[in-house]
Structure 1
Amino acid sequence: MSTLLEVSGVTVSFDGFRAINNLSFQIAKAELRAVIGPNGAGKTTFMDIVTGKTRPDTGQILWGDKSVSLIGMSEARIAQAGIGRKFQKPTVFEEQTVQENLLMALRKDRGPLAVLFFRPSRADLDRIAELAAQIGLTDTLPRVSGELSHGQKQWLEIGMLLAQEPQLLLVDEPAAGMTPAEREKTTAILVEAAKTRAVVVVEHDMEFVRRLNCKVTVLHEGAVLAEGSLDHVTKNQDVIDVYLGR
């Protein structure tokens, strides 16, 4: 499988504190990966450097078939290149319907006039129906998004990111605050999404990670401590000492 994203030898310091320490990480084009680690391990900073929010002090971040460097690219350019990020708290347009939220997220010309005169085509509406089915919100398309449950808002936001057709999706703690049934459905949505793109899930919840049934990267003090299946990494003595032993 060819590599989609390659992070190598990346270091980031804030006021002398090394948040990321010589980090190397790579993910293939259609792969699901979980990233775990204790608080302060560098999980959020890792997402910040990939999306252009934070610029590393050293190292390389290479993207796509042509190995384009992401360092120095704006956050908007990186998003256009095909990297989508979902933060912990869902950010949907609460006053708009589920359908309107998904329509606004479609990959379209975003100029002021284009937005003003946008009328969805049959193809647009078909794509929305497809996305709604994928995130389990077909029945809620006409509903105002503010009325949705926490879990449904999370799925809507994942749908809005998928509408932009990213090649890599970074998802921060999707299971937080969800009911067991919602978590199960979230697992299914992410597993399905990873069949056609790379999906990185940053998560604390070990049960949720187990359900994802994918390769796990353990971060500690800004570097990779262990990598492999969940069973493999949870038997690693270093991981037990710094993470599971707490």
Structure 2
Amino acid sequence: MTALLEVSGVSKSFDGFKAINNLSFSIGEAELRAVIGPNGAGKTTFMDIVTGKTRPDEGEVRWGEKSQSLLKMSEARIAQAGIGRKFQRPTVFEDQTVTENLIMALKAPRGPFAVMRWKPTRDTDERVSDLARQVGLADQLDRRAGELSHGQKQWLEIGMLLAQEPRLLLVDEPAAGMTLAEREQTTALLRRLAETHAVVVVEHDMEFVRRLNCKVTVLHQGSVLAEGSLDHVSANPDVIKVYLGR
């Protein structure tokens, strides 16, 4: 399987602290991957580097069939290339409806004249309806985002990411603060998305990771400590030591 994202020998230090230390791993085109690790393992810095928010001190990050270097692209260009990131706290427009949030997120020309001339079409309506259906909000289109439950806001933000037509989604702790029913729906949603996208889930909740039933990458001190199924990495003595401190 050809890698969609290839991280090779990446390191990053902040004031002498090595947040990422010779990190290498790859993500396939239609793959669900969980990235776990204790606080300070480098999970957030890894996402910052992939999305262009942070530049590494050394190493390479390659993207797509043409193996383009992401390190030569701006954050906006990386997003346009097909990498979407969902932060832990949902950032939706609370005073706008679900429909309006999804319309604002649709991939379209963003120049001032294009925005002024833009009008919704039947294709827009169909696209918004399809996005809402994908994330389980088809019956919430006219509700203001601020009225949604925490879980529904998370799904709306995933829908807004999908509106940008990404090939890779980086999703940060999606299960945090959700009810059990919402967590189950989120598991099903992420597994479904991974049939047609690469989806990387950064998560602390081992029970949620188990439900995802996917390959797991364990980070520790900025490097890959172990990789494989959750059962495989959970049995690794080094992982046990890092997580349980013994």
Q: Same-fold call, TM > 0.5?
A: yes
User: Does the alignment pair 1:66 with 2:73?
Assistant: no
Structure 1 segments of 4 or more deviating over 2 A?
Answer: none
1:82-97 pair list within 5 angstroms: 82-97=82-97
SS in 1 for 2:45: helix
Partner of 1:43: 43
SS in 2 for 1:4: strand
1:166-205 pair list within 5 angstroms: 166-205=166-205
Partner of 1:148: 148
Tell whether the 8 Å contact from 1:173 to 1:204 is kept in structure 2 after alignment: yes
TM-score normalized with structure 2 length: 0.98
Cα offset, 1:113, TM superposition = 2.3
Give the distance between the partners of 2:142 and 2:53, measured in 1 at CA.
35
Cα offset, 1:72, TM superposition = 3.1
Partner of 1:113: 113
TM-score normalized with structure 1 length: 0.98
SS in 2 for 1:141: coil
SS in 2 for 1:164: coil
Q: Runs of 5+ in structure 1 lacking a partner? A: none
Give the distance between the partners of 1:158 and 1:134, measured in 2 at CA.
10
SS in 1 for 2:71: coil
Superposition RMSD on alpha carbons, in Å?
A: 0.9
Tell whether the 8 Å contact from 1:32 to 1:215 is kept in structure 2 after alignment: yes
Question: In structure 1, what residue type is equivalent to 2:163?
Answer: A
Tell whether the 8 Å contact from 1:167 to 1:197 is kept in structure 2 after alignment: yes
Give the distance between the partners of 2:123 and 2:244, measured in 1 at CA.
49
| 198-207 or 103-112: bigger deviation | 103-112
Partner of 2:164: 164
Cα offset, 1:111, TM superposition = 1.3
Cα offset, 1:117, TM superposition = 2.8
Cα offset, 1:120, TM superposition = 1.5
Give the distance between the partners of 1:15 and 1:240, measured in 2 at CA.
29
Question: In structure 1, what residue type is equivalent to 2:178?
Answer: M
Partner of 1:213: 213
User: Does the alignment pair 1:8 with 2:8?
Assistant: yes
Tell whether the 8 Å contact from 1:10 to 1:23 is kept in structure 2 after alignment: yes
Question: In structure 2, what residue type is equivalent to 1:45?
Answer: T
Partner of 2:122: 122
SS in 2 for 1:140: coil
Partner deviation per Cα, 1:33-79 (whole Å, 9 max, x = no partner): 00000000000000000000110001110000000001131110100
Partner of 1:18: 18
Tell whether the 8 Å contact from 1:55 to 1:72 is kept in structure 2 after alignment: no
Partner of 1:235: 235
Give the distance between the partners of 2:74 and 2:173, measured in 1 at CA.
25
Tell whether the 8 Å contact from 1:31 to 1:195 is kept in structure 2 after alignment: yes
Q: How many residues align?
A: 246
Cα offset, 1:243, TM superposition = 1.2
Question: In structure 2, what residue type is equivalent to 1:70?
Answer: L
Give the distance between the partners of 2:116 and 2:153, measured in 1 at CA.
26
Partner deviation per Cα, 1:183-229 (whole Å, 9 max, x = no partner): 00111111111111100000000010001010000000000000000
Cα offset, 1:124, TM superposition = 1.5
SS in 1 for 2:146: helix
